[in-house]
Structure 1
Amino acid sequence: MTAPATHTPAGPSPDLVYRILLIEDDEADALLVEELLHDTGLRFDLTTRTTLARARTELAASAIDCILLDLHLPDVSGTKAIAAVRELAPHTAVIVLTGLSETQAGAEAMAAGAQDYLVKGKVEADLLHRTVRYAVYRSQTERTAADAQKARLRAEENARLERGLLPQPMLSTSTVTVTTRYLPSAERALLGGDFLDVVEGDDGLLHAVVGDVSGHGPDAAALGVCLRIAWRSLVLGGHHGPGLLHLMERILIAERGPQPLFATCTLLTLDQNAATATLYLAGHHEPLLTTAEATRELTAAHGMALGIAPEHGTWPATVIPLPAAGALTLYTDGLTEGHNGPRTERLGVEGLLTLIRNLPAADPASHVDRLIEETQTLNAGRHSDDLAVLRLDWGDK
């Protein structure tokens, strides 16, 4: 096994340093390749390994820009060698080294995934220089294109999931102003399982839900979409209260499969004529009530999260008298579980209420946006969770 060799041509050079792995069991051929690399003028770090097994260890430990691969190794040969190397380093340029008599090997190597091939005994420094630079450039371009494609697909899937998790409110005669916001956790490709919805029933009452499926990623998001659609359909079908939560739990159990997912949620029915809000909490926290005087957390009876103990959940109702003008804010814990500035404790409800007291007066949408911005600034990226916010405003505060 040859020790890593490093060569930098005299004088300044704007070129990058190519990290090259030569997989070659013939010592004479390996020496020839190294000498040719010295003549190319490229800046390079060269490591030589004599078998695929030893190359595997090197690829796992180091970042490599270009692999020079002999097709006849002690432990693998032919296109199998290319396939094995591509599996180990799918985004690394591969240049195959073939013998003089292997007239078809080069074409087969390209078809198998190599960026290029060189015939031993016919390689000059200029040719090796161009081949290495082009192969690395092509490999990097392909990787950039693949990353862009993945990003586009993630964005499209996010858009589809967001339409399911954050639908348009279904209102007809209601004068309530509805503000909704949904933000996936920072640096994550896919949305999570937070969901919300608002519909006006045939009875003229306004029904709302905010929920949170445990876990993150596409499975939680898909289950959140399922529960949100089920909630809307069931509410429009006349189901409310404990009966509605029981049906939602049955749907959750059927859709989650073998995964131990559960969901918390708050159901709210707003009756403007009676000036009341009826709450059902299924493992979720209480909403906030904003009046002309202040914002406070409501006190409400709690019930069990959906899917924790099927068929054993009870969900008591809490009826809240409402002022002539005010706002109710329902949210998921992504809004309060972030850190409270430089301190190590979480923001919590008290910290959230302090933020709200210090925010300047603004229209509902601007107020919600500013509140989310303030919580994220305090958190500074240390805690990562989805958040959903639903605010209902009525009257003139």
Structure 2
Amino acid sequence: MTEAAEHTPHVPPGPTQYRILLVEDDLGDALLVEELLHDTGLRFELTTRTTLADARTELVTGRADCVLLDLHLPDVSGIAALTAVRTLAPHTAVIVLTGLSEAQAGTEAMAAGAQDYLVKGKVEADLLHRTVRYAVYRSRTERANAEAQAARQRAEENARLERGLLPQPILDTSSVQVTSRYLPGAAMALLGGDFLDVVEGDDGRLHAVVGDVSGHGPDAAALGVFLRIAWRSLVLGGHRGEELLHLMERILIAERASHSLFATCTLLVLDQRAGTVTLHLAGHHEPLLTTVEGTREVTAAHGIALGIVPGLRSWPSTTVPLPPDGALTLYTDGLTEGHSGADHERLGVEGLLTLIGSLPPADPGAHVDRLIQETHRLNAGRHSDDLAVLRLDWGNLSSPS
């Protein structure tokens, strides 16, 4: 065994029982190892295999906390044996067993990823006890560090996607208050393909979009970012309505990873001076209009989702007069596709409107947060779809002519 391991000052307590896999083709050596393990005082469960092929099931299923590996097996030998074990069980501790004449083998094995090595014929119970405990501890620490690093990378990727999917609104002179929220559909998951944005044009009109790319995961999220950035660029470039949707569809077709991916979206243009809102629905549902009289769904013409029938260009517009004071809420399906309670029926738009009507008055941000909280409560933790909400509040709009 290595000198460093022999002088390890402290090894934290290990599991109450170690699952040890011995891969050794010499039956005499295997018997000696088993007897030494009994002398260590460790609680253990020993499985012995004579070839790497026979040990494959235990390795790939994670049934071992520690592998005691002879470097000379009938089907593989040397560092190749260790490499094969590490490939099959990358997070399992491996202790290499070497012969008296193999002075360099143990050092080379540790450089190749083994936690430690033992020289046959020079192993005592105390040494084996400390070696097993320390190897398992090191392996589990390395695994925890790797998982923490992976979590940090996921968080960083989510942050990058958030910047792409949830940008800061571009508002110059508009007095409209913008509230936005986004929740991924699953814990630890990458953000999905929902996206939203708000931009004030040079003419003072407020442009907004809420969209939803089919599917979840990085492909949907990346496509959502492409479409959101394309929408902002095209709007600032002066594109509007059907032409804007046609260009977004072309970008979707060029960037999507699979022909099965499509996107729905609602485009909104709020004209504060005219007191109107113009809508284009591309396979998406209508926004909700909140006034002093309550909240209702805006009636608007429907068009086809982007990427379903490329080139069809069926996106009629609807212009609706607005009250001097009010709010419009655009949202994706994650807000309505959950269950409405113990009856397990979908919440739907009607259920959402009923829920909104039951909420106490609050400022826009608190109101949206409470709405999301209540939909999740009714869904009893079964939230699985991504959710994006965009609310626009205004006051003192000009009356429509």
TM over 0.5: yes
Q: What pairs up with 1:343-358 in 2 under 5 angstroms? A: 343-358=343-358
Displacement of 1:188 in angstroms is 3.8
State the match for 1:123 in structure 2: 123
The answer as to 2:113 corresponding to 1:113 is yes
Residue deviations 1:194-225 (CA, integer Å, cap 9, x gap): 00000000011000000011111111111111
Shift of 1:189: 2.4
* Structure 1 residues 220 and 88: alpha-carbon distance in aligned structure 2, compared to 1, 3 A threshold: same
Aligned length, in residue pairs = 385
Q: Does 1:228 pair with 2:238?
A: no
Q: Deviations over 1:255-312 (max 9, x none)?
A: 1144421110000000121111100000001100101111111111110100111101
Which residue of structure 2 aligns with residue 310 of structure 1? 310
Q: What are the equivalent positions in structure 2 for 1:8-47 lying under 5 Å apart?
A: 16-47=16-47
2:28 & 2:44 partners in 1: Cα distance?
A: 20
Structure 2 CA distance for aligned equivalents of residues 394 and 25 of structure 1: 79
Aligned partner of 1:266: which letter?
A: T
Q: Which residue of the partner structure matches residue 280 of structure 1?
A: 280
What percentage of aligned pairs have identical amino acids? Answer: 79
The residue number in structure 1 matching 2:378 is: 378
Distance of 2:310 and 2:62 partners within structure 1: 50
Aligned counterparts, 1:156-235, within 5 A: 156-235=156-235
Q: Contact between 1:15 and 1:42, CA under 8 Å: does it hold in 2?
A: no
What amino acid maps onto 2:97 in structure 1?
A: L
Work out whether residues 266 and 281 of structure 1, in 8 Å CA contact, stay in contact via their aligned partners in 2. yes
Within 5 Å, which residues of 2 pair with 1:293-304? 293-304=293-304
Q: Which runs of 5+ in 2 are unaligned?
A: 1-12
Give 1:395 shift: 1.1
Contact 1:326 1:396 in 2 (8 A): no
Task: Show the counterpart of 1:133.
Answer: 133
Q: Determine the C-alpha separation between the residues in 2 that align with 1:273 and 1:128.
A: 83
TM-score by length of 2: 0.94
Conserved? CA contact 1:186–1:381, under 8 Å: no
Change beyond 3 A, Cα 1:191–1:15: closer
Tell whether the 8 Å contact from 2:325 to 2:396 is kept in structure 1 after alignment.
yes
- CA-based RMSD of the aligned residues comes to 1.4
After TM superposition, which residue ranges in structure 1, 4 or more long, deviate above 4 angstroms? none
Q: Distance in 1 between matches of 2:221 and 2:143?
A: 28
Structure 1 residues 13-22 or 252-261, which shifts more?
13-22
User: Displacement of 1:244 after TM fit?
Assistant: 0.3
Pair 1:15–1:328, CA change in 2 (3 A): closer
Q: Deviations over 1:299-340 (max 9, x none)?
A: 111101001111013100011111111100000001111122
Q: What is aligned with 1:6?
A: none
CA distance in 1, matches of 2:248, 2:147: 38
Q: Does 1:73 align with 2:43?
A: no
Name the SS of the counterpart of 1:307 in structure 2. Answer: coil
